[in-house]
Amino acid sequence: MVKMNNMNLKSNVLKNKLRLNQVTLGSWITLNNPAIAEIMSNAGFDWLTIDLEHSVIDYFETENLIRTIELSGVSPLIRLSSNDPIQIKRVMDAGAHGIIVPVVNTAEQAQAAVDAMYYPTRGKRGVGLARAQGYGSSFEDYCDWLGDNAIIIVQIEHIDAVNNIEEILDTPHIDGLILGPYDLSASMGKPGKFEDKDVQESIDYVLKMANKKSMPSGIHIIEPNVNELKMRIDMGFKFLAYSLDVRMLDAVSREGINIKNNLCS
């Protein structure tokens, strides 16, 4: 039997941290550049997510980014464009260690993601031979790896999901959640008003329910703000996305320009 590559070992580390409800830190990739993925991987993140919902990255580019992240010793995850079984099958066949599923509002939608991730009898995923399966040489190893190591994170980004959060988290084989504050606030008719009492209460309720079930609860810190990161960890969030490639580039660039302008004006 052909041995699997390092995807086994690293993903097992992340999966175990999720099982133990430990803090993990990742970030978001929206630019199709292997150098960016390599630099961010070498920085020491636990995981990196390739964003297929709000970027122009295609499937071929996704596989190359997965390869770069994985070879750098970090777990590559994919934020899907939708809860689509075909897309889930394709990115997992490309070698992704897991998926982040947008707009999961019900337990039925969470179960649909599980069905699309796993082969029968646990799920309904069709079988193909691609990079993840060693192009056919290590299919049995991949089946073993999949059952123990694949990761499913659901995005809670609508008030309907908040109202159904206990049932969603009770879905077998869900490994964690991540809040989408912008979309959640928008679904409440208060887009971007994160300090609003109702929005805050919804976020607090999701965090409370996740902690009750020992499920890692995540949130995306959009700006590269270390003070917010510390605050979110203190609040009890465990699956944290620290900014994204474009915001890091923009924020650091503007910081330097602002210092120059202030000193030389």
Residues annotated as catalytic (active site), given as ranges: 54
Q: What phi and psi values does residue 74 have, to the nearest 5 degrees?
A: -120, 150
Nearest to 28 by CA among 211, 242, 244: 244
Give 197: exposed, middle or buried? Use CB within 10 Å, 0-12, 13-18, 19+: exposed
Cα–Cα distance, 63 to 58 (Å, whole number): 9
Question: What is the DSSP track for 192-207?
Answer: T-TTSHHHHHHHHHHH
Contact 10, 74 (CB under 8 A): yes
Q: What Å distances lie between residue 105 and 27, 34, 154, CA to CA?
A: 24, 33, 9
Q: Could you count the other beta carbons within 10 Å of the beta carbon of residue 47?
A: 27
Secondary structure E strands in the chain: 24-29, 47-51, 75-79, 98-101, 151-156, 176-179, 217-221, 239-244
State the Cα–Cα distance between residues 100 and 47, nearest whole angstrom: 12
